[in-house]
Amino acid sequence: MTSTLDRRRQSSGMFNLKMVDVRSRAPLRLGLAGGGTDLSPYCDQFGGAVLNATIDRFAFAHLVRNTEDRIVFTASDIGGEESYASLDEINLDSGLILHKAVYRHMVETYLDGRAPPLTVSTTIDAPAGSGLGASSALVVALIEAFRAALDLPLGPYEVARLAFDIERVKLSLAGGRQDQYAAAFGGFNYIEFLPGERALVNPLRAPRAHLNEFESSLVICFSGQSRRSDTIIQEQIDGLTAMNPETVENMHQLKEDASAMKDAILRGRIREVADILLRSWAAKKRTAKGIATDSVDRLFEIAMAKGAWGGKVSGAGGGGFLMFCVDPENRYRLIQSLNAEGGQASSVKLTFDGAEAWTVPR
């Protein structure tokens, strides 16, 4: 439903180009447990639940007036740039479709179709197909930048829902619902996805000592292999639509694991968290083919042999980042071992702020 303020902006085309120089960022996330239960039709019928935590990796966006009266989209981390003379030239069939879809939505919804000459540029602190929710964080960062530039009355729930609609509905990109909410809210969250397309974000009120211990035990490792999650996700959706007993049973297990891991974090039981990671990894691999690859299996075996307590991939699988819990006294040695075997491992810090935007000082 369009608010009175939104209608007023639509009719006035309120946008001061001279003042537009806005940056934003949205955090990436580790999908700890429950991933897949945020997919339709599972969450529509049974209700989904995920546990995720945002980390010190971000998607960044920047809006600035284009002095040549062009509409320019750039993504320097992937070497992409597109330039247009008018809104009519912008298509959503290929290229930087996330940038273009957000721009089109803002112009059509809030600017009465009047397309301002802007340069919309982005970067992401992770490779494509990382499994860290990067594409959704990028959409959230773009929306947040426009929200600030247009002074729109959008809270994190509205930003997350709009990001979901643009990605999953308008662009028909396969995926679940958790990434948009993680990026918009930030922090350590237990998120429930209920029938009727309702979402409920529950921040974990864990003692800081427990969060510090969990963070100190974490190792993340890029497998060196970006993954295409769409085929994996589609196989899961097909299994759920057909009510395949094995797929549904394993999704139930993943949802139970999200609740169990939440309780373990709240109690500071990090070894128990690691055990749940292992159990979830086993269940996840049974929901679709291709979730585990040779490179993922090799790094996983190395990590376990070098003292990791447990781990899993973040995201849909098929490559991307792995995460492990390990005795903090052994974390540095585990990172060295994984890097020596061709992985790209490091420690990681939890973050507690969601998407944010700011005006560049002149």
Catalytic residues: 179
Chain position carrying tokens 């969450």: 43
Question: What count of other Cβ atoms lies within 10 Å of the Cβ of residue 74?
Answer: 19
Residues 160 and 185 sit within 8 Å (Cβ to Cβ): yes
What does each C-alpha distance from 162 to 103, 169, 219, 351 come to in angstroms?
Answer: 13, 10, 32, 23
Which residues are paired to 305 by β-bridges?
none
What does each C-alpha distance from 327 to 10, 71, 154, 309 come to in angstroms?
Answer: 55, 51, 42, 7
SS3 state of residue 261: helix
- For the record, the structure tokens of 237 come out as 């959706």
- For the record, the structure tokens of 249 come out as 């049973």
Positive or negative: CA dihedral 325, 327, 330, 332? positive
SS3 state of residue 84: strand
Radius of gyration of the CA atoms of the chain, in A: 21
How many helices, marked H, and strands, marked E, lie in the chain? 12, 12
Helix ranges (DSSP H) in 206-340: 208-217, 229-241, 245-267, 270-285, 294-305, 331-340
